[in-house]
Amino acid sequence: MTIEDEPDRNPWYYDILNYLQHGKFPQGCEEVDKKYLRKLASKFFVSRSVLYKRSHDSILLKCVDAKEASQLMQEIHEGECGPHMNGHLLARKIMRLGYYWLMMETDCIKHVCYCHQCQIYGDKINAQPNELHLMTQPWPFSMWGIDVMA
C-alpha cells in the first residue's frame, strides 16, 4: 500500500548483510561509500543469515524487507491487535515487537494517512482560526522584589 517493492529485487539491507557475511563491498563503490557502509554495518548483527539491528538499549530488531513491512503495518494497525493508532505510535509498537526497516516511521505515517477508517472516524478540529494576541508585561521584572535587611 505505501511501500513499493525494491527495484533491484534485493531487500534494502542486502549490501549490509553481504558486507557482514563475506566482507565484500558493492561493485562500483567509492571509498566514501565504503566508509559509510562500515560505519552503518557496525550497528547490525547477523545470526543464521538473518540480519538484526542493535537498538539503543541493546535489543536486537529483525530487519524486514518491503513486503513483510507492509504486512506488519497492516496487521498491527488494522488487525486483531490494531487500535488504529497514529503513525509515530505505530512505528514504536513495531519496534517494541522486534522489527526494523530504514524508513519505518515515514512508512507508518503514510500508511495511517491512507487508512480509510482513520480518515473517517479521526478527530476533527472544528475550532475557528483566531488571531493571536500578544500578552506582554510593561516591565519584565515588575513581579520580582528584593528585601534588604541591614
Structural domain includes residue 78: yes
Q: Can you give the pLDDT at residue 83? A: 79
Contacting residues for 100 by C-beta, under 8 A, at least 6 apart? 53, 55, 61, 62, 63, 64, 94
Q: List the chain pLDDT tens, one digit each, 150 residues.
A: 445 556 677 888 889 999 999 988 988 889 999 999 999 999 998 998 899 999 888 889 999 998 999 999 999 988 776 678 888 999 999 999 999 999 999 999 999 888 888 877 777 666 677 777 776 666 665 666 667 776
Question: How many CA atoms, within 13 angstroms, populate the side-chain half-sphere of residue 94?
Answer: 31
- Residues 52 and 43: their CA atoms lie apart, in Å, by 9
Question: How many CA atoms, within 13 angstroms, populate the side-chain half-sphere of residue 66?
Answer: 13
Domain encompassing residue 79: 14-120
Structural domain includes residue 66: yes
Kindly report the CATH number assigned to the domain that includes residue 66: 1.10.340.70
**Domain count within the chain:** 1
Q: Can you give the pLDDT at residue 84? A: 81
Asked whether 126 and 13 are in contact (CB, 8 A), the reply is no
Structural domain includes residue 55: yes
